Amino acid sequence: MRVFISLGELRLASHTLFNGIGVVLAIVCAALLLFFEWKRRNRVDLLQREPGKPFNYWLALLCFAGAYGGLALGTMYIGSVLTVDREGVAFVGGVLVFIPVFLFLAKLFPRNGSPTKQLEVVLPALALQHVFNRIACLLNGCCFGTPFAQGITYPRFTVPNMMFRGQPLFPTQPVESVIMLLCFVVILILHFRGKRTLPIFPLVFGATGFWLTFLMAGLVMGENSLLGLRAMHWHQIAFVLVFGVGVVFLVLILREAKERKEQEALAKKKQNKRHVLKRSQKRKMKAGKK
């Protein structure tokens, strides 16, 4: 099934259109989030009157552009290994490339500070893009689910309809699209409230993708294999790796929070000692006057 949209003489596949919309929105979203981060960081520097180097917006955008190129290549080339027919694409392959490439580039240009904090700013853009990726898959008739009573019935003469003889199929694409949209909204809300959001996308994306591999008919029924593993198994390994990255990020954030609390407790303890010392000095001065 491939839905076409006609714009005058231009006839465009909706699959291509929605993938393109997702890419454009992801780039715009990342650019805006980095812009807000630039304003926030520089405002803090001015308020604190720190003479240090300010946040460089263009450098951060360059890191994102380089990593996003890696995402595109990973989606195409790693995805071709993960898919059943070896000709498709898989967004999870792109995510596995994007994260280490961005961290490497941000580490290579350390002017903007912690690479993980910079990555945290741009990760919501990937969640937003995947919302439209899955809408594109639905309109293309790919990544469809296994038979499900309350599922989607595809039109006649489409691959899902002919494969399952008109049975309703589990709506894998809309389900993942909605989950990614909720993930995007939650990350934005927490981010603008000053909360750490780094592990949310890899944890949600990894867990959701792993669950849906058991419900995608093409993966469940696919027989093509590489190194003795079927496409379904390669997908599951990829999603477990993404989830593992999220767990690592979560551990790092919890460790940072623990260290921050210890530093605050130590600073408070020193402050209390100063107050006690001042009080004892005042008492001694009063006693000396008497």
Q: Is residue 73 part of a domain?
A: yes
Give the range among 73-82, 131-140, 178-187, 276-285 with minimum mean pLDDT: 276-285
Residue 47: its pLDDT value, please?
Answer: 43
Average the pLDDT over 264-281 and give the result: 72
pTM to 2 decimal places: 0.83
> Does some domain include residue 280?
no
| Domain interval for residue 121 | 4-263
* pLDDT value, residue 78: 73
For the ranges 42-56, 75-89, 218-232, 234-248, the lowest mean pLDDT is seen at 42-56
**What's the pLDDT score for residue 76?**
80
What is the arithmetic mean of pLDDT over 173-178? Answer: 94
Does residue 106 form part of some domain? yes
Cα–Cα distance measured from residue 239 to residue 183, given in angstroms and rounded to the nearest whole number: 16
Structure confidence at residue 266 as a pLDDT band (50, 70, 90): confident
Q: Is residue 28 part of a domain?
A: yes
Instruction: Please say if the pLDDT value at position 49 is more than 50.
Output: no
30 part of a folded domain: yes
* Pairwise pLDDT comparison (283 vs 174), residue with the higher score: 174
pLDDT at residue 254 is higher than 80? yes
Look at residue 273 and tell me if it is in a domain: no
Query: Is the pLDDT assigned to residue 90 strictly greater than 70?
Result: yes
Strands (E), 42-192: 147-152, 169
Q: Place 50 in a pLDDT band, splitting at 50, 70 and 90.
A: very low
Residue 288 lies in a domain: no
Q: Is residue 287 part of a domain?
A: no
Closest CA to 198 of 85, 263, 117, 140: 117
Long-range contacts for 82-88 (Cβ within 8 Å, ≥24 apart)? 82/231, 82/234, 82/235, 82/238, 83/218, 83/231, 84/218, 84/219, 84/222, 84/224, 84/231, 85/224, 86/224, 88/142
Q: Say how many domains are in the chain.
A: 1
